[in-house]
Amino acid sequence: MAAIGIMSAMHEELSAVLAQMADGQRVTVAGRDFWVGDWQGHPVVAVLSRIGKVAAATTASILLDRFQVGSVVFTGVAGGLAPDVRVGDVVVARGFVQHDMDASPLCPRYEVPFYGRACFDADPSLSDQLAQASAQVLAAAPLHLGQETMDQFKLLTPCVHQGLLVSGDRFVSTSAESRLLSQAFPLAMAVEMEGAAVAQVCWDYKAAFAAVRTVSDRADDAAHTDFQRFVSGVASRYSLAILTRWLKDLPTGVPGIT
Ligand code: ADE
């Protein structure tokens, strides 16, 4: 049976995943450590995605080509764009667009040349499974985050959203740029730096893809504040709990594909 590829954007997330994997064997390809093992009865290959579209696309290609995974799930953080997407919320992607793709006048802005499309969809079934797992995890709060962390990030009633993620090779950290993105993509929930690239690679390999992102900031002038603390104190715990919940409910022998 094809394994599930798990791409984590952050070291803290990957470490938490590896702590749960039985008999993880390290295989190094292109300077990346891929961990092949078993998690709750499911064959998985876990890896750090690296940051940015090219690095993440390379990692995804190796997962699909060398390790022959049948599906890929990405976990990480994102900057909230839609007004109701707050720090501490979870966004499960429905589709992905590269916000910095512009090959005009060869084709319309944002369209990826040779694909005839700007948007690459997430696998609907995988996406729904992850949204359900996320809702269950958030409903069972507090994930032992500690009162200080809850207060600092005002994590009162976190919500799960499903919708469009936009990706580009830029950490968006000004309100002006965030406004421009929201104007260009009125349906965008959040911005990050890898999802659309991995979605394009999964499209090429006809593999199911989904992504879960915890909102670490509002992609505005305050976006850099306490980013690292949020990643280690909140996002990595959310990711682990969501993936654990999802895999628990996933029948063995079904790698999450529609
Ligand atoms: N990942 C988390 N926050 C982000 C932001 N503001 N811009 C791009 N990627 C992000």
CATH of the domain at 38: 3.40.50.1580
pTM of the predicted model as reported, rounded to 2 decimal places? 0.94
Q: Where residue 139 falls among pLDDT bands split at 50, 70, 90?
A: confident
Asked if residue 118 has its Cβ within 6 Å of ligand 1, the reply is: no
The answer to whether residue 229 sits within a structural domain is yes
The answer to whether residue 72 sits within a structural domain is yes
Q: How far is the CA of 75 from the centre of ligand 1 (A)?
A: 13
The answer to whether residue 94 sits within a structural domain is yes
Q: How far is it, in rounded angstroms, from Cα 71 to Cα 252?
A: 14
What are φ and ψ of residue 208, in 5° steps? -70, 140
Q: How far is it, in rounded angstroms, from Cα 28 to Cα 25?
A: 10
Asked if residue 194 has its Cβ within 6 Å of ligand 1, the reply is: no
Task: Please determine, for residue 258, whether its predicted confidence score (pLDDT) is greater than 50.
Answer: no
The answer to whether residue 210 sits within a structural domain is yes
142 preceded by a cis bond (ω within 30 of 0): yes
Over residues 19-23, the mean pLDDT reads: 87
Q: Which two tokens stand for residue 5?
A: 């590829």
Q: What is the DSSP letter of 49?
A: -
In this predicted structure, what is the pLDDT of residue 256? 47
Q: Do you know the residue count of the chain?
A: 258
Asked if residue 219 has its Cβ within 6 Å of ligand 1, the reply is: yes
What are φ and ψ of residue 188, in 5° steps? -70, 130
Residue type, 83: P
Asked if residue 76 has its Cβ within 6 Å of ligand 1, the reply is: no
Q: How far is the CA of 212 from the centre of ligand 1 (A)?
A: 14
Q: How far is the CA of 219 from the centre of ligand 1 (A)?
A: 6
For residue 141, what are the domain limits? 4-249
Under 8 Å between Cβ of 163 and 91: yes
- Residue 81 burial (CB count, 10 A): 28
Task: Please determine, for residue 241, whether its predicted confidence score (pLDDT) is greater than 90.
Answer: yes
- Residue 184 burial (CB count, 10 A): 13
The answer to whether residue 96 sits within a structural domain is yes
Q: Which two tokens stand for residue 230?
A: 């949020």
* Distance (Å) of CA 200 to CA 22, 105, 115, 117: 31, 21, 9, 10
24-47 confidence digits (pLDDT tens): 999 999 999 999 999 999 999 999
The answer to whether residue 256 sits within a structural domain is no
Asked if residue 165 has its Cβ within 6 Å of ligand 1, the reply is: no
Which value, to the nearest 10 degrees, does the dihedral of the CA atoms of residues 71, 75, 81, 82 take? 70
Q: Which residues are catalytic?
A: 13, 217
Q: How far is the CA of 107 from the centre of ligand 1 (A)?
A: 27
Q: How far is it, in rounded angstroms, from Cα 258 to Cα 225?
A: 39
Q: Taking each helix axis from N to C terminus, what angle separates 124-139 and 236-249, rounded to the nearest 10 degrees?
A: 120
**pLDDT, mean over the chain:** 92
The answer to whether residue 255 sits within a structural domain is no
Share of the chain above pLDDT 70, in %: 91
Query: Which position has the higher pLDDT, 231 or 130?
Result: 130
The answer to whether residue 258 sits within a structural domain is no
- Number of domains into which the chain is organized: 1
